[in-house]
Amino acid sequence: MSNPAPQSSNTLRTLALILLPLLGIALMVAAIFATRSKEKAAVTVVVGEDQAGIPAINTGVIIDATGGEAILPQMGYRYKVFVDDESDDRSSGIAKIGRMVTFIPEARRGQTAIVDVTRVRERVADAILVKVLSEVALPPKAPRAAFVPAPDDSAANVVPGAEMDVIISEASSKNPETEGVAKVNGLVVFVNGVPAIGERVNVRITERRERMAFAEPTGKPAGTDPLPVSVEPVRRVFQPRPGDPVVVGAEMDVIISEASEKNPATEGVARIGGLVVFVNGVTTIGERVNIRITERRERMAIAMPSGKPAGTGPLASSGTTGEVLRRAFSPLPNDPAGHVIAGAEMDVIISEASEKNPAAEGVARVNGLVVFVEGATNLGERVNIRITARRERMAFAEPTGKPAGTDPLPTPVAARPRAPRPPYVPGPGDSAPHVVPGAVIATTIVEPSTKNPATEGVAKIDGFVIFVKGATTPGQAVNVRITDRRPTIAMGEVTTDPVTAAPAAPVAAPAPAPIAPEASVAVPAPAVAEVPAVSAPAPEAAAPAAVPAEAPVAPEAPVAPIAAPEAPAPVVEAPVTPEAPAAP
């Protein structure tokens, strides 16, 4: 009979021999990671000042924007600003970086702060507060004139101090975590402290304006009775012209050509014959979708997807729908593209992509006239189109759906050359007569161009504006070759050529004036010396007895000049004096 004790001890010994090396290896690995330095490696790249092609590098330097200099805010850069205003809802401070209004949440009036710019738009910028450096007490803002609702205002009961029940219908787009939005007869009411959508709350109006109001909860329990029926403000109903298919309830196919500027995450923009259509829920650019029009206005429409699959036929069009009513363009008899008018059909070849909407629009040319063809983007494609709108220098069209022909297209007729603009010749009173095409002048950039801040700067000479390509840094001294001159502005480009024109030196016109009187006085001086010998005392009849007494003094030549200036003095001031400079 065998004993199992030795067998079990052997098994344990074997497991121990296997586990011990593994445990040792694990301890060594743990010791290595525990003793490894946790400091991150730093990579240093040295960039020379003269190294070309290096973009601007954000080194974290704080840019002082409190002095009002012409600074262009850039996303990701840090600025020192002075907060001199606050937003209407008092949730953000407002500072200026250069000329751009910058909103800074949680900042307050009177603070000097460090901020990081997080977003730069066309007219405003957004920033976050990093640090408050100092704070001063500013005088209170001038109170806004109280808004008095008109007698026919549908929300005339919404005035400061009024209490009422409202239902939060949506979150505030600016402060969704702390503010809700309700509507009272079409008037938007921002309710501070109530962000829960669908909640009924009793509020007190704290401020009323023409198109909005601000409120806060009263703390009283909301009622249970039905709220008054909301009366929407009466909007002037837009009546489309006969034949315009973009009406409320109409369904059609469109192509999303761009994102909505206000709600890019939830809304796309399509165009129907020039009319802007905001499509809720469709944001993919280039997508073709079937929509239903929910609201129509004069220059825009609002739509939503119908849920039906998009077709493959011609897209919806409405001729000149949505275009601002303007005087119809009538081609002149000698217009080479006189046959390109609304309703005309013809074959064209797509020669290039549209610069603005390359995914949805192609460009063709008919006798030099640019034709934008919606829905045709294949370069070189021949397509039959229908002109939907004609203007002086361009036209708009859409495919007819008919097959294009195979006959050769008509030979393009060369467009009549446009008469060149006559060169501007500075007049006598021009503040910058030396600024003419071809001249090279020395000037200093004072600010970036508003339209092209990345490539163009602005210089000024006695108030005369010069747009300079290739120089954008304020304070930069450059030589500029003038390429075009207009009455109030000029265009130029940076050059290394030497200066060839400079402002005219001021003319010292008054300088000759004092010289002329001296010459005129010098001429009569000897005559005066001789006149006393003949009849000089005759005018001085007041003292006839003094003549014999002065007789011995007459030979003294110095005495005569001393008395003489008193007689010519009125002569110098007389009108004769201005005539003396005119004679030379």
Are 440 and 500 contacting, i.e. CB atoms less than 8 angstroms apart? yes
Q: Please check the confidence at residue 345 and state whether its pLDDT lies above 70.
A: yes
The values of phi and psi at residue 140, to 5°, are: -60, 150
Does 169 lie in the same domain as 212? yes
- pLDDT category at 467 given cuts 50, 70, 90 is very high
Report if residue 152 sits inside a domain: no
Does 518 lie in the same domain as 477? no
Instruction: Look at the block and give the residue holding tokens 């602005």.
Output: 458
Q: Please check the confidence at residue 390 and state whether its pLDDT lies above 80.
A: yes
Q: Please check the confidence at residue 579 and state whether its pLDDT lies above 50.
A: no
Does 520 lie in the same domain as 470? no
Number of domains in the chain: 4
Report if residue 27 sits inside a domain: no
- pLDDT category at 155 given cuts 50, 70, 90 is confident
Does 575 lie in the same domain as 520? yes
The values of phi and psi at residue 20, to 5°, are: -60, -45
The values of phi and psi at residue 543, to 5°, are: -135, 75
- pLDDT, average across residues 124-130: 91
- pLDDT, average across residues 228-251: 71
- Which of the listed residues 120, 135, 150 is the one where a domain comes to its end? 135
Among 71, 118, 77, CA closest to 96: 71
Are 66 and 89 contacting, i.e. CB atoms less than 8 angstroms apart? no
- pLDDT score recorded for residue 549: 44
Report if residue 310 sits inside a domain: no
- pLDDT score recorded for residue 277: 92
Report if residue 581 sits inside a domain: yes
Does 211 lie in the same domain as 182? yes
- pLDDT category at 124 given cuts 50, 70, 90 is confident
- pLDDT, average across residues 69-81: 85
Report if residue 352 sits inside a domain: no
| Structural domain of 473 | 440-495
Does 168 lie in the same domain as 108? no
194 vs 207: CA distance, rounded Å: 17
Amino acid at 394: M
What does the pLDDT look like over 168-184, one tens digit per residue? 998 887 778 889 999 99
Report if residue 291 sits inside a domain: no
264 vs 490: CA distance, rounded Å: 38
Burial class for 2, CB neighbours closer than 10 Å (0-12, 13-18, 19+): exposed
- pLDDT score recorded for residue 336: 87
- pLDDT category at 295 given cuts 50, 70, 90 is confident
Does 167 lie in the same domain as 121? no
Left (φ > 0), alpha (ψ -120 to 50) or beta: where does 246 sit? beta
- Which of the listed residues 217, 249, 283 is the one where a domain comes to its end? 217
Report if residue 179 sits inside a domain: yes
CATH number of the domain at 205, please.
2.40.50.140
114 vs 127: CA distance, rounded Å: 10
- pLDDT, average across residues 367-384: 90
pTM as predicted: 0.31
> Tell me, what DSSP letter sits at residue 564?
G
Q: Please check the confidence at residue 380 and state whether its pLDDT lies above 80.
A: yes
Measured CA distances, 269 to 208, 249, 291, 399 (Å): 33, 18, 12, 21
Residue 252, number of CB atoms within 10 A of its CB: 22
Report if residue 489 sits inside a domain: yes
Percent of the chain with pLDDT over 90: 25
Burial class for 504, CB neighbours closer than 10 Å (0-12, 13-18, 19+): exposed
Q: Which has the minimum average pLDDT: 60-69, 134-143, 326-335? A: 326-335
Are 231 and 186 contacting, i.e. CB atoms less than 8 angstroms apart? yes
Does 480 lie in the same domain as 519? no
529 vs 521: CA distance, rounded Å: 13
Instruction: Look at the block and give the residue holding tokens 């004609």.
Output: 390
- pLDDT score recorded for residue 583: 44
Q: Which has the minimum average pLDDT: 53-62, 123-132, 437-446? A: 53-62
Q: Please check the confidence at residue 192 and state whether its pLDDT lies above 80.
A: yes
Does 519 lie in the same domain as 488? no
